[in-house]
Amino acid sequence: MNNDAIAALAEDVNVVNTKTAITDFGKSTLKDYKLPGMPQQAYSIGLEYRDPKFWWIGANANYLASNYIDVSALLRTNNFMRNPETGFGFPEATESRSRELLKQEKFDNFYLVNLTGGKSWKLGNNTVGFFASINNIFDVTYKTGGFEQGRNANYRQLNQDVSSGTPSFGPKYFYGYGRTFFVNLYINL
């Protein structure tokens, strides 16, 4: 990202208790984090053969790299390093551990290979045919995106949660489909 942002939360419960729906957390240091939800690099190559006898087969290979998680803006405010009970910093907090906790997760790079094919027949003035495809033929498991949770919004809470080995409020991930099949039969009258 090119700039920092302002972090604010809107909560319906706050309207009842404080007459304001928005809590302003101030500047969130998001500059230099990568944009989430899409690979930073994507490459594709494909081959296709079409026979004069009205059948065809094709394959393509895709390589997707440098995809990152969506970071929590709330974790990157001054609030992260401030103890909510005292208003002061956490004595156990170190700069190196803070950087480690706030490092943007990079997903694994992956390849996907897809096959397609089909055949058609001319029957008088009509055409009958089929088209079939197999996507992700090697059944690769891959993350397409995800987001950090903002529930543990300060250093102590996040450090304790991560140090447990299995964070209760760890990132949430989205996964792509495994191997999928598609068949289309058609008649053109």
Percent of the chain's residues with pLDDT above 90: 68
State pTM to two decimals.
Answer: 0.80
Mean pLDDT, all residues of the chain: 90
Q: What is the pLDDT of residues 50-66, one digit of tens each?
A: 999 999 999 999 999 99
Q: What is the pLDDT of residues 88-109, one digit of tens each?
A: 989 999 999 999 999 999 999 9
Using the predicted structure, report yes or no on whether residue 19 has a pLDDT greater than 70.
Answer: no
Strand pairing class (143-147; 172-175): antiparallel
The Cα 41–Cα 1 span in angstroms is 16
More confident residue, 110 or 3: 110
User: Which residue from 62, 40, 50 is spatially nearest to 137, judged by alpha carbons?
Assistant: 62
Give the pLDDT score at 14. 58
